[in-house]
Structure 1
Amino acid sequence: MDNEMSANGLSQCATLINASIGNVFKGLNDLGAQVSSIWERQRCKTRRPNQRDLKPLLAGVRQILDSESLKFHGAGVVFAPGELEDCEMHLQWWCRTQNEQVQPLQLNLDSRSDRFYDYLHMPWYTRPQQTRQPSIDGPFVDLYGTEQYIVAFSVPIFFDDRFIGVAAADISLHSLEPLLVRSLMRVSNEALLLNAEGRVLAANTASWLAGDLIRGVLNQDMDQGRVLSLIDTSSYWSVVERPVPRL
């Protein structure tokens, strides 16, 4: 009976985390659909979209940034080279300031500059492009000067089967962790949420901190522990129950 209860707790935990992740991706898919609509309208005008045509995206981004359950640092669309008429590379991106204002993020996209922000080789951009699947990347240090750890969610946008960019959002791990921990507390044993590297994103015990690498310990646990893969993305996240009572 204990084993059955424990399995149910782990399953419930995974379901709750999947729901939270799924809500983030739903908002991004809606934003991607807005982008496709703009591209469809501009095709009728026989010209490529330009930055002015992207102004309607702000409403969709605000819906993401105004989420009550998660505190998003930033959200927007990052475009493939050559998709816009008036610039080679472009991020239509907004972020929250420390006083909760929403403002556009300005980055250096001049490839000749030492401070060039080359997003074309970043996993949150390349993975959705290559796999056509949603992606979760991180945690990594943010772009906003707060030195917080960020988790990046992104989905690919295709138009006429051509990759035109990604819709993406950044969430601070500090904001995401409490929601994850509440779900993990449904498991009576130690439970952890891990990314593809085997690093801890959240845990239901103080024995583990976000960023800890647990891969070696997991190998010792596999005979008695349980692992559930989370929502289908190109980034492997899993919930792990260790055969150790939660303290």
Structure 2
Amino acid sequence: MTDSATRDCAVRIEATLDEVFATAGRIRDGVRTLWRDAVGTVSAHDLEPLQQAIFAELDSHPHYTGAGFLAEPTTLADVDRYLEWWQSDGSGGHSRLVLDLEPTSPDGYDYVEMEWYVGAKAGRPSVRGPYLDYAGADRFILTFATPVVVDDVFVGASGVDVLMAAFDPMLFEHVRRGAAELALVDRDDRVIVSNSPDVAPSERLRIRTAEPLPVGGVGVGWRLFALR
């Protein structure tokens, strides 16, 4: 049976995840408003006012390294694929993430194939990582994404990149307060954070003594294991 301290830990972790998804949700709501306010078809130009909302989110959350919106192919009138994604330099500055979005290009960034985008298109908030983001920040990050649906049509995903170096202490504080040795793992059984000296982040979890507690829902797929 799972003790109450472990259950409380799972609840606290979910609350931390929910805060990031709330940011993605505010960006989503901004996209919806601009989309509905557009005259006729929607173009990339119509989404430019979204930048200020993205800047505000980045400035309010120092552990965010990037945030924005990615359009579903063919939904915009003037471009096939579109990325309104901005990064923070950590000192109040912002830079647009510029990538080759041509999927047939050797260096193309095919975001529609990314796990977090696929999850969002399936209608659920999703997380990928931690992983090394070569295409963007070149640091270990988590990518959070949520679907953007306008008038029952999926038009893309809004999301947030969270710097793992800053997010990890938040997660560790939750597991540190557990009465048992705990390990939080992703859907691939890789450890995200643990308070056990025998379990290291990024390794596959092999020590299990009880059924895990699910954390974050289907799109997240994290589980919290009590090891002893």
Provide TM-score, normalisation by structure 2.
0.92
Answer yes or no: is 1:27 the counterpart of 2:12. Answer: no
The number of equivalent residue pairs is 228
Partner of 2:174: 183
Answer yes or no: is 1:110 the counterpart of 2:102. Answer: yes
Paired letter, 2:207: V
User: For residues 23 and 146 of structure 1, what CA distance do their matches in structure 2 show?
Assistant: 21
User: For residues 112 and 147 of structure 1, what CA distance do their matches in structure 2 show?
Assistant: 23
> 1:168 Cα deviation (Å)?
0.8
- C-alpha deviations, 1:91-141, integer Å up to 9, x for none? 1000123655211110012344321111111111111102x1100111211
1:108–1:35: structure 2 CA closer, same or farther, 3 Å change rule?
A: same
Which residue, 205, 219, 222 being the options, matches 1:234? 219
Answer yes or no: is 1:159 the counterpart of 2:144. Answer: no
User: For residues 123 and 204 of structure 1, what CA distance do their matches in structure 2 show?
Assistant: 28
User: For residues 146 and 26 of structure 2, what CA distance do their matches in structure 1 show?
Assistant: 10
User: For residues 117 and 177 of structure 1, what CA distance do their matches in structure 2 show?
Assistant: 27
- C-alpha deviations, 1:141-164, integer Å up to 9, x for none? 113566422111000111121110
User: For residues 156 and 28 of structure 2, what CA distance do their matches in structure 1 show?
Assistant: 9
User: For residues 148 and 206 of structure 1, what CA distance do their matches in structure 2 show?
Assistant: 25
Paired letter, 1:16: R
1:146–1:165: structure 2 CA closer, same or farther, 3 Å change rule?
A: closer
User: For residues 49 and 4 of structure 2, what CA distance do their matches in structure 1 show?
Assistant: 44
Instruction: After TM superposition, list the pairs within 5 Å mapping 1:1-247 onto structure 2.
Output: 7-42=3-38, 45-46=39-40, 48-68=41-61, 71-97=63-89, 101-130=93-122, 132-143=123-134, 147-214=138-205, 216-218=206-208, 221-222=209-210, 227-243=212-228
- C-alpha deviations, 1:161-213, integer Å up to 9, x for none? 11100001111221111000000011122111111111110111332222110
Paired letter, 1:54: L
Paired letter, 2:76: L
Paired letter, 1:53: D
User: For residues 188 and 205 of structure 1, what CA distance do their matches in structure 2 show?
Assistant: 11
Structure index of larger Rg:
1
Report SS of the residue matched to 1:74. strand
Which segments of 5 or more consecutive residues in structure 2 lack a partner in the other structure? none
> 1:52 Cα deviation (Å)?
1.9
1:11–1:76: structure 2 CA closer, same or farther, 3 Å change rule?
A: same
User: For residues 134 and 66 of structure 2, what CA distance do their matches in structure 1 show?
Assistant: 10
User: For residues 76 and 115 of structure 2, what CA distance do their matches in structure 1 show?
Assistant: 22
User: For residues 116 and 23 of structure 1, what CA distance do their matches in structure 2 show?
Assistant: 31
Which segments of 5 or more consecutive residues in structure 1 lack a partner in the other structure? none
Does the aligned pair in 1 maintain the 2:181–2:195 contact within 8 Å? yes
Deviates more, 1:167-176 or 1:144-153: 144-153
> 1:60 Cα deviation (Å)?
2.1
